[in-house]
A = this chain, B = another copy of it.
């Protein structure tokens, strides 16, 4: 058994407690059950005060002596047992791997514990909410994308890494970025800039924007994966740095910002650890086409899907503020969208030398 850090010790303890509760019912002659917060849409709400998409209080009980529930009950304990073993061994793995690890044929039957990964994934989410631990704390990682550079020194698994000297490539952001893996050593950053696109991030890195402006730049290859979101949240809350999000001017870009800001409906139970309600939308705004004189031939006509999506966003509780209604309505009115790359029409480094500095100077962002 590896020596456990504080985070892992706590998570292992939570799993043990879950098992103990069940064992106690068994010994007491009762029908053992696990209590799991319900993750369906009906139990998700937007908390106006905390500005987060959150889970409500509804719970369900999963009983062992119940024909409809027994298999899931067994699966829950297979998964929690495997996670406990991972934690004790000081190892981490993917949810795909966990599926293979826990897949057995039961006794002499032809029944498998799990047929496909789409059976084990929801069980992992159940366990997350049941013991109140992120899957990363259960030592499970998601696929990862994304890179980061900036005026900060970090420690990653014991290695000290200077993100001021990461060349053109940058540090590849891992999926698990909890305190037991990643620590922030020292920094001179004034803010964090999360960029939707890899190619645009490369422009910012090549132009050494982060050095001139003293900021940390991250990209998550489109919709940022869990590791990038969690890291931004930690940088924001622990180092007290403001977060700016730079995305395409289209419904998908707005959605990326929205998930970064208040979490998503699917993963509502994790918003508190993943979302940054103070995150600022720095661009591309629907009004930038005029303010920054983008020629009309770099506009892209929105299709029906885009339009429906944009109209739907007008109804989201977190986009009710006047400035957001104005922003989305202008997109719908114009019927066009713009990619960040459209700014290159004004010059290859226009985005790093004129667009973003002016945006920041004029405090031209939305919250």
Contact = CB atoms under 8 A, between A and B. Distances in A.
15 contacts: A89-B348, A92-B202, A93-B199, A96-B341, A97-B199, A97-B341, A97-B344, A143-B221, A147-B172, A154-B167, A157-B167, A158-B167, A159-B166, A169-B171, A174-B202
Interface in A163-217: 165-176, 181-182, 198-199, 202-203, 206-207
Contacts of A94: 199, 202, 341
Best-buried of A96, A156, A172, A181 by chain B (most CB within 10 Å): A172
A297 B101 contact: no
Given A91-B206, A103-B345, A341-B94, A143 B198 contact: yes
A207 B356 CA distance: 42
A160 B156 contact: no
A6 to B, nearest CB: 18
Interface majority SS on A: helix, strand, loop or mixed?
mixed
A302 interface: no
Contact of A172 (B89, B171, B182): B171
Contact of A170 (B96, B103, B172): B172
Nearest to A142: B199
Q: In the assembly, how many copies of this chain are there?
A: 2
A261 B23 CA distance: 56
Interface of A: 86, 89, 91-94, 96-97, 99-101, 103-105, 112, 141, 143-145, 147, 154-161, 165-176, 181-182, 198-199, 202-203, 206-207, 221, 295, 297-298, 339, 341-342, 344-345, 348-349
Contacts of A169: 156, 171-174
